Structure 1
Amino acid sequence: MSASLSVGARDLPRTAARRVADGLALAAAPTFALMAILVGAGGSDVGQMLCAGEQGLQIGGMTVMYMLMSVFHLTPWLRLIQSGKREAA
């Protein structure tokens, strides 16, 4: 019996670590999307924006990078949505 308890005790930290990793994976895409919006909306110098007459989002280097990173990190969300559809059916 002690062997089964030790195996279960060993799996507990692994399960907790897995939950943390899953949570971080789900947090990545929205975080990068928010960073893309923030950099795009306020990435330019205010003086340059006023003088150049530019309006709206500034789609440039870092904004594009954050948008791509957000897209690449959508996989955990797609898996979550897919598993929800399977459970509902």
Structure 2
Amino acid sequence: MGSDDAAPALVRALGYAAAPVFALMALWTGAFGGPAGMLCTSLYGGSPLAGMGVMYALMSLFHAGPWLRLVRR
């Protein structure tokens, strides 16, 4: 088993890992968002859509493709 065999498996594993990691980051930022989150929100007039938690949630949705393909099968 060479390194060429391991590469596709690693790529698949990273694809499945991205969405849950970003979802956890969104939850963590929403629950424990510190001064950096407050700074980002204050820069854009206090909009709740300007925070890091929203960005992590959107990234989680963007990277949900491998999970959706797995569920569809």
TM-score between both structures, scaled by the size of structure 1: 0.61
Aligned-residue offset at 1:23:
0.4
Q: How many residues align?
A: 62
Runs ≥4 residues deviating over 6 A:
none
Say if 2:14 is the partner of 1:24. yes
Matches within 5 A, 1:64-79: 64-79=54-69
Sequence identity (%):
49
Contact 1:40 1:60 in 2 (8 A): no
Distance 2:59 2:4 in 1: 27
2:28 is aligned to 38
Q: Which has the higher contact order (CA 8 A, sep 6+)?
A: 2
TM-score between both structures, scaled by the size of structure 2: 0.73
The structure that has the greater radius of gyration is 1
Gaps of 5+ in 1: 1-8, 46-57, 84-89
2:53 is aligned to 63
Gaps of 5+ in 2: 36-47
1:48 is aligned to none
